Structure 1
Amino acid sequence: MASTQDKGGLGEVRRPARIRDVAARAGVSPGLVSRLLNNDPTLTVRPETRAQVMDAVRELDYVASSAAASLRRNRADALGLVLDRVTNPVFADVVHGAEEAATEIGCGLLILDAEEIARDTAFLTEVVKSRRVDGLLLQGGYGPDAGLLARYSAEIPSVIVNSPGNDVASGVSLEDEAATRLATSHLIELGHRDVAFVAGAPGAASDTRLRGFRAALRDAGLEARPDRILGGGWQAEDGLQAVRASDPSTSPVTAYVAASSVVALGVVSALAEAQVRVPEDVSVVGIHDPWFAPYLAPALTTVALPLFELGRQSVLQLMEHLQSGKPSETVITDPAPRLVVRGSTRPPRSFRA
């Protein structure tokens, strides 16, 4: 698989200036910069504003992408982003990164909910058939909508977000296995020996995270017991039901790794319901570091993954797919998964004693 990380050993390479860098320097919006640089005939802008933007272009040595320019010819100048529940706060950075990249290539972004599409396919079918978008970014596909979205990826150039691609669709993935390995190792280093994993719905991301959980236990000489694999969903309710079913008030488990921080919300709720205290009685770690994690009580320990880069790279990968007509793979390795230790983890009581 390809990687976005440069290991060429040639020293630090200056990151190319982006449209948002030019916009920040000039004190204007990225959209205005994009329209100005693409010579939008409908744009009306004051001469002094135009001069500010061009000064910023020269100062930052910004070079417009010729690939992006060629992509725009005879195109709809719009991309579709299909998310598995658009209200999930974990996806905020994914959307932000995708929007920035789309703006830089002069495209709009149509955001759709996979669950809604599964209930009523008419709208997306019309969008695809009429080519109102040039391609699709498919984050959904963890539930009953998986086959449906696979069908669309065969009809229009597509990128599967945070999952390997296939014969027709490109893929952009995160280091999910490394993330859960890091989370589980943190708990083991604190002294926890009976750790449970609260899984997401079946699919590439959840399977890969489970593999990292098992690998960390194996490295520590611990058994990955089947009865310590709980759950099967990406919502807070899934985490709550999974832990509730395991009867946490009598369980010997001293720590939980949740497949996502949203699932971790349900885990903590189930523990509170059973009058099991976090972190006094058990510890909890969630994958992904959304905005709400520091504001919980206790604040949630997480493993941060580069979601902004995931959204951005997915758009760029789709642009390459549109140009070449061939699917490709990218694994985002820079920045690497990062442990963010907060109040929801501490050594188990027996270890503290």
Structure 2
Amino acid sequence: MKILVTGGAGFIGSAVVRHIINNTQDSVVNLDKLTYAGNLESLTEVSGNERYVFEQVDICDREALTRIFEEHQPDAVMHLAAESHVDRSIDGPAAFIETNIVGTYVLLEATRSYWNQLCVERKEAFRFHHISTDEVYGDLEGTDELFTEETSYEPSSPYSASKASSDHLVRSWLRTYGLPTLVTNCSNNYGPYHFPEKLIPLMILNALEGKALPVYGDGMQIRDWLYVEDHARALYKVVTEGVVGETYNIGGHNEKANIEVVQSICTLLEELRPNKPDNVEHYKKLITYVKDRPGHDVRYAIDATKIGRELGWEPEETFESGIRKTVEWYLNNQDWWSRVLDGSYTRERLGSN
């Protein structure tokens, strides 16, 4: 099978591409605009593989998408390209509307045109898999409630509202046009190659540099943490085995308050990097509480029963095993994250285009 992965140079997208190339015989066409969060250095281990092709394309560019489909003739689309940082959506929502809503529409139309001209056998086998977020559901009250595939949508931020809109578009293209679509909604991902603006890598790298560890509000916002390589396995299982028209929630079964996550990182660093910066006595003393973000959801938690029951997927990593692997990865891969922090990964990329 040949799979077109949009956003394949991003955090989750690159994990999906690495998983497919390293663990299957399928081919990948990686389509990525290469915004600030797209990093081809996250794909170094597979970039020379004959089953991997990269195309620098904006999903809003219909002409370029048409060329991609005609040239590569994919058997499936895994749509991960998206603006995804809540804080950035609050400061500048326009890019989120353009990429997450308009871009998804343009991609759906390009896919539909391509799909319509396939032979009957290929048409029936084709899949359009849209990867979304649990943030479309809003937040949960109490400690027992979980997001299920039937939970109503109540997005709280421009980011989650734009993703909710794209989910609706994808489902309507199945209902109206018959395009064989599937949707997955995942909890918070973490792991190797995570862009340093997100909570876990930000805390690791700030601690290593002796900088403050900023925690929003009281730090009691609860998230369900999913190791990114577990997520990649789940996504591949959905695109290859999932039922058209179905939605699958993907979670890590690891609910943690943000402050617990930060404290876990500090504890691991005390063990793994005891030689601290001169200004640091204990990593936990770097924790600083800052003003909460507007509209901050209090609790997310995924019920991933359906994908386990119907497709046989379960996360392999506990939070404890996954966060240890993550901290160790950042300690052992300074070349990757230092080039992200100083911007050299984008300067060299732009210079070669």
TM-score computed with the length of structure 1 as normaliser: 0.37
Between the two structures, name the one with larger relative contact order (CA 8 Å, sep ≥ 6): 1
Larger radius of gyration: 1
TM-score computed with the length of structure 2 as normaliser: 0.37
